[in-house]
Amino acid sequence: MSEKSPFVVSPQWLVKHLKDPGLSIVDGSWYLPAQNRDARAEYDAAHIPGAVFFDQDAVVDPDSDLPHTIPSPSVFERHASAMGISRDDTIVVYDGLGMFTAPRVWWLFRIMGAEKVFLLDGGFDNWKKDGHIVTATPTKIASNAFLPKFDASKIASLEDLRQIVSERSSQIADARPAGRFTGEEPEPRAGMRSGHMPGARSVPALSLSENGYLKDIDGLRQTFTDSGIDPSRPVVTTCGSGVTAAVISLALESLGSDDHKLYDGSWSEWGSQDDTPVETGPAKG
């Protein structure tokens, strides 16, 4: 049997452990406008028993004009504590599609110091399809305190990316769909140029999973090879607004690579600057 990522749990595992003390289940669903889905409304209508909703538009830096900017540790502490989550909990995150936006929540909890953070393989759509229990009953949240232990070393800034693009000192893995990477498809946000950073490689987030299930270790390694990314060398992950870039971060961690950072501003920042270099077409070099 093929080896799976150490960061995913199966639906069967979660069914067995639903009532374990110290287990926090988090719905981290978020959708692009074109997907025509309302994550909060879907959570209110049906969620895994005990799950809390992680609003990816709210747990952000309130002073940033970019979408999904990483919140300060104090802001994250306030939101996570309000969800009843402790840093010592076993945290299982899921989203509707599976391996789409939940990895961003997984990544946030990890850079804020939580160590036992996992993803539900297959996501909520498959959970429902397979007949597992769901509820519309609001989750009763017990008082708790999440005390962050922030790791800023996992974050890349605009200045970092300018230097990386100039010096080619790190690989850049772009999680956006291939059409947006090449510039053949427009960006969903107004005012953005199309294309990609010079030297970047296209690793679409959905290429790392199959039907919502994260590819096994061999499959992840092959996907990186096909994309021209070497997981043994430094990598910066990026996407549209820093959300699906975390799917690549998850895949790298699954392969045992820890020399990677996530560019939080991602294309929302890079593509809206006047002086950042942009290429179109397939990856070069």
239 is an active site residue: yes
Closest C-alpha to 180, from 172, 169, 189? 189
Out of 239, 245, 250, 252, the active site residue is 239
Measured in whole angstroms, the distance separating CA 216 from the mean position of its chain's CA atoms is 18
242 in Cβ contact with 263 (< 8 Å): yes
> Whole-angstrom Cα distance, residue 116 to residue 110?
8
CA distances from 28 to 57, 170, 240, 262 (A): 11, 29, 17, 18
Paired with 47 in beta bridges are 135
Catalytic residues, which ones? Answer: 239
